[in-house]
Amino acid sequence: MPLPDPGGRRHLREHLEQGAVILAGVLAVVAVGWAIHAGTGDDEPAAAPPTVAAAPAEQVPIPVPSMSPSPSMAPINEIIVEQVTVGDTVDLAAEGRIDWVHWGEKGRFSLERDSGGKFTLLEGTPGEPRLRHTASPQRFTWTGAPAGGATSGVTTCGTGHGFTLSAPAGTGSHTLRLYVGAMKARGDLRIELSTGGEAYTDSFAARGASMGTTAYVVSYRGSATGKISIKWITGATFDENCGGVALQAATLS
């Protein structure tokens, strides 16, 4: 029987040892990879949820505001005044659709007025001195007026003396035309609404020997039912005898 070969066994043992070393290395690598996976697996971000496409803009309902009526504007107190030159002739009946008044044709307390005006235009309590004049450079006409028109009116003398007028006011617009004058004096005008708002003031002066005249066109409306008041007062006199203001006519439309 042949004897065992000691050299062959030695070579086999060397091969086995090398294989064991390689296997141990492989197992070590696998173990490290598993440890890393186990330590980081819980920290991985969760998968994003599926994206849901938004509805197109035209499909999204848009709230529409209710079409309720806006509140109406509150009426205001308003006075607008324009001073104008008086024409050669003034037709009071044609101009005063609501009412018209002329002063002084038949005397210092006489009033010539629209028979259908229902006394809408009113003069305040007459004061003294009060005189009739025929010095107006303009002529005023109405049905029954003197041929060619009237140049008459009323006048007063001295600082502080003058005339007052009034007419109805409301939320509707009205226009009052005032024909006044001054002779050797300065006239001060004040217009105000009883319903409130700012008063309007102005002055007109005539220093010559003849009467100076002017007209005020007053457009107005109030915030409620009330009246408009007008004061035409002698603010200063340039004649110690009888300088003062004059009043010829007024119309309302």
Distance, CA of 91 to CA of 143 (rounded, Å): 9
The two structure tokens encoding residue 67: 């079409």
| 3-state SS class at 73 | coil
CATH number of the domain within which 114 lies? 2.60.120
**Is 48 within the bounds of a domain?**
no
pLDDT for 74: 61
pLDDT for 73: 58
**Is 114 within the bounds of a domain?**
yes
Strand runs labelled E in the chain: 78-84, 89-91, 99-103, 111-113, 122-123, 131-133, 139-141, 153-155, 162-169, 174-183, 185-193, 200-206, 212-221, 226-237, 244-252
pLDDT for 67: 47
pTM for the full predicted model: 0.71
For residue 199, give every residue at least 6 positions away whose Cβ sits within 8 Å of its Cβ, in sequence order, or none: 79, 190, 191, 192
Sequence letter at residue 158: G
**Is 118 within the bounds of a domain?**
yes
pLDDT for 4: 45
**Is 35 within the bounds of a domain?**
no
Distance, CA of 185 to CA of 187 (rounded, Å): 6
Per-run averaged pLDDT (10 residues), the chain, 253 residues: 45 48 49 45 47 48 48 76 97 96 96 93 95 97 94 97 98 97 98 97 95 98 97 96 96 97
**Is 51 within the bounds of a domain?**
no
The two structure tokens encoding residue 28: 């070590």
pLDDT for 75: 73
C-alpha closest to that of 121 among 93, 97, 99: 99
Sequence letter at residue 228: I
Q: How many domains does the chain have?
A: 1
The two structure tokens encoding residue 3: 């004897």
Q: Which domain holds residue 244?
A: 78-252
Greatest CA separation found in the chain?
182
Distance, CA of 180 to CA of 186 (rounded, Å): 12
**Is 152 within the bounds of a domain?**
yes
Distance, CA of 212 to CA of 238 (rounded, Å): 13
**Is 109 within the bounds of a domain?**
yes
pLDDT for 27: 52
**Is 71 within the bounds of a domain?**
no
Instruction: Tell me the CA distances in angstroms from 225 to 80, 116, 195, 228, one per residue in order.
Output: 18, 22, 7, 10
pLDDT for 157: 95
Distance, CA of 225 to CA of 193 (rounded, Å): 10
Instruction: Tell me the CA distances in angstroms from 95 to 6, 101, 111, 139, 150, one per residue in order.
Output: 152, 11, 17, 14, 16
